[in-house]
Copies of this chain bind each other. A is one copy, B any other.
Amino acid sequence: MPVPNTAVLLITCPDRKGIVAAVAEFVYSNNANIVHTDEHTDRDSGTFLMRLEFELDGLKLDMQSFAREFAPIAARFEMRWRVALASARQRVAILVSKQDHCLADLLYRHGIGELNCDLPLIVSNHPDSKPLADFYHVPFHHVPVVSDRKKEAEEATMRLLAGEKIELVVLARYMQILSTDFINAYPGRIINIHHSFLPAFIGAKPYHRSYERGVKLVGATSHYVTEVLDEGPIIEQDIIRVSHRDTLDSLIRKGRDLEKVVLSRAVRWHLQHRILLYGNKTAVFD
């Protein structure tokens, strides 16, 4: 899958007249060709959200000059914004516990080019997935978490992430709760997969509770991690049909298939700069 020779401009700001015109005029005057524009206005909060993808061929500026020259426009409209090359590979760490179906899935997708990123680091509180990591040539670090020394384990993990200049942390069924310090170090840059349709079965053992409740669908939810557990902004959700014929085992098996696709979509969209946060929500520009 060839990475397009484009850049993405992401903007969030208070809604006002003239934003699209100012941005489009700036891009055009620098000789760039717009490939996609997506724009959304959240009426409740008066927030304007925009994703603009443009071709680099013929662009008169490099990214640094672009940023410098765009700054006055950004200031005028009070924008939070960033611009990124589609070809720039973000540095991603995967954290995993015992169950490694999401890890295996992400590694395979990365291997065939579905995920445009570097994977310098896998961290796990169990040693089990080391052979899998080795097969894909991704460095694997076993950081055990023992009950009275959790803080040390987390600090060791944070040092590993910092050492590799990690930009995105993917919790691929990582069953440890992160501290506020950890979460604040990666705002809007930690993606978790919750193995249920949030907020239906928040917390632990959602499949057991789905099974007991006799639901006819099970779901999975990927979301950004914020301080309130399982309540961060939802990125993607999907479901699969179940029936009384399903056992708890088959519920869990069906759930695994969901978790893989729901997590990998969130990761890919994040890497493609398709997700904009506003309040406790996301806009996903497809």
Contact assessment for B245 and A216 in the assembled complex, using a CB-CB cutoff below 8 Å: no
Which of B1, B18, B284 has a CB less than 8 Å from the CB of A244? B284
A215-B237 contact, Cβ under 8 Å, with A37-B37, A135-B131 = yes
Chain A residues at the B interface, C-beta cutoff of 8 Å: 1, 15-25, 27-29, 31-43, 101, 104, 108, 112, 114, 131, 135, 197-201, 213-217, 219, 233-239, 241, 243-245, 247, 249, 253, 257, 261, 279-284, 286
Name the residue of chain B whose CB is nearest to the CB of A114. B253
Contact assessment for B239 and A239 in the assembled complex, using a CB-CB cutoff below 8 Å: yes
On chain B, the residues within 8 Å of A28 by CB distance are 17-18, 20-22
Q: Work out how many copies of this chain go into the complex.
A: 4
Q: Is the interface of A mostly helix, strand, loop or mixed?
A: mixed
A280–B214 CA distance with the chains assembled, in angstroms = 7
Minimum-distance CB pairs A-B, first 9: A214-B281, A21-B28, A200-B200, A21-B24, A244-B283, A20-B24, A37-B39, A216-B237, A18-B28
Name the residue of chain B whose CB is nearest to the CB of A18. B28
A34–B197 CA distance with the chains assembled, in angstroms = 34
Contact assessment for B239 and A217 in the assembled complex, using a CB-CB cutoff below 8 Å: yes
9 contacts between A and B (CB under 8 A): A20-B24, A34-B39, A36-B41, A42-B244, A101-B112, A215-B234, A243-B283, A243-B284, A257-B261
Name the residue of chain B whose CB is nearest to the CB of A27. B21
Contact assessment for B114 and A108 in the assembled complex, using a CB-CB cutoff below 8 Å: no
